[in-house]
Amino acid sequence: MNKKNNSIVLPKVILAPLAGISSLAFRMINRGFGCPYAFLEMIHARSFALSSRKTGDLTVSNADDRPLGIQLLGNEDYYLEKALEKISAQNYDSLDFNAACPRRKVIVKGEGAALLKTPQILKRLLKILVKGSCIPVSAKIRLGWEDAIKSRDIACYAEDSGINAIFVHGRTKIQGYSSDIDYESLRLIKRSLKIPVFASGNIFNASLAKKMFDETGCDGVMVARGALGNPWIFQEIIAMLENHPIPPRPSVDVIAQTMRKHFNLCFELHGEKRSIYIFRKFYAWYTRGISGVKSLRTKIMHTASAKEMIEMIEEFRTKAVVNNAVRNNIFCDNFD
């Protein structure tokens, strides 16, 4: 396959792939507040190669949803090669390979984070992607399976495959999503690799993004849980990077307006029933840490129509009392 482009240009802040969350609606809301690069959620190479219906839903996008990366999961050479053929016919900006997912149903098949235990297999799979891809290739890893002692070696193996960049979640597989971030190991990886190193983990506000840059020397950061119900995080991190004053946290009116827009996008994409199911989670995330709306967060679980959802957003707007001190520190849902 001809190489169209083997160099990568990534901005300093990127929206991470988030399984079950990274829909077109979610990406567009974040782009609206400055997100300069986003990823589709992980897609299994076999489903992608075989064009399963679910994969079709996961890849829904539009011309404004750019630049956009695709992320593959898997460990079968044949399906990775088949997936590459399909990718070459589409216009993604980069291809990432997932060696970080800790879910049981993934690791029992030797995929995702299980590849951290066999860095030589990870390198071989990455080589297949690098060889056959017409767009830049990256890898997303964690610091290791159980401890971070070999994190530098794993990252070096991945780099040796010829990938263009690496995303590193600063926790091991065993640490899931809740432990502290190991900034020191991330720093060691950054110092050891020549390719750009992007750090992921606990980027919940601009100060934590700054801490990540300062402590690791990373080339960029990936925002994950920090963007849930909080698309403003992008404009805040970008202001911090450009040495501009950080914009004030959004008012209740802006939060409600964004919720309405997000719900309407979900509705257009997924229809009434599914959009209500999806948006209930977002309602809870948008309203986290805000006083006066506790009862609404329970009531939202019983919403049954789009009209009711819009009414619930309006009720939030009239009842909410924003306490910024709290809102700055709450974006850390535990997905373990």
Ligand X SMILES: Cc1cc2nc3c(=O)[nH]c(=O)nc-3n(C[C@H](O)[C@H](O)[C@H](O)COP(=O)(O)O)c2cc1C
| Residues labelled catalytic | 101
Give me the least distance between CB of 198 and ligand X, in Å please.
Answer: 10
201 versus 220: smaller Cβ distance to ligand X = 201
CA dist 321 to 97, 251, 299, Å?
A: 42, 9, 18
We find the least distance from the C-beta atom of residue 181 to ligand X, in angstroms, to be 7
Which residue lies nearer to ligand X by CB, 133 or 256? Answer: 133
Query: Which residues form the interface with ligand X (CB under 6 A)?
Result: 16-21, 41-42, 71, 98, 100-101, 140, 169, 177, 200-203, 224-226, 335
State both tokens at 327.
Answer: 């809102």
Q: Which is nearer to ligand X, 179 or 264 (CB)?
A: 179
Q: How far is the CB of 16 from ligand X (least distance, A)?
A: 3
Instruction: Tell me which long-range contacts 202-205 makes (C-beta under 8 A, separation of at least 24).
Output: 202/170, 202/226, 202/332, 203/233, 203/237, 204/233, 204/329, 204/331, 204/332, 205/233, 205/236, 205/328, 205/329, 205/331
Pick the closer one to ligand X by CB: 228 or 312: 228
What is the rounded distance in angstroms from the CA atom of residue 290 to the CA atom of residue 230?
Answer: 13
Residue 19 CA to residue 26 CA, distance in Å, equals: 12
- Whole-angstrom Cα distance, residue 224 to residue 17? 7
Q: Residue 146 is which amino acid?
A: E
Contact assessment for residue 38 and residue 22, using Cβ atoms and an 8 Å cutoff = yes
Residue 167: CB minimum distance to ligand X, A = 7
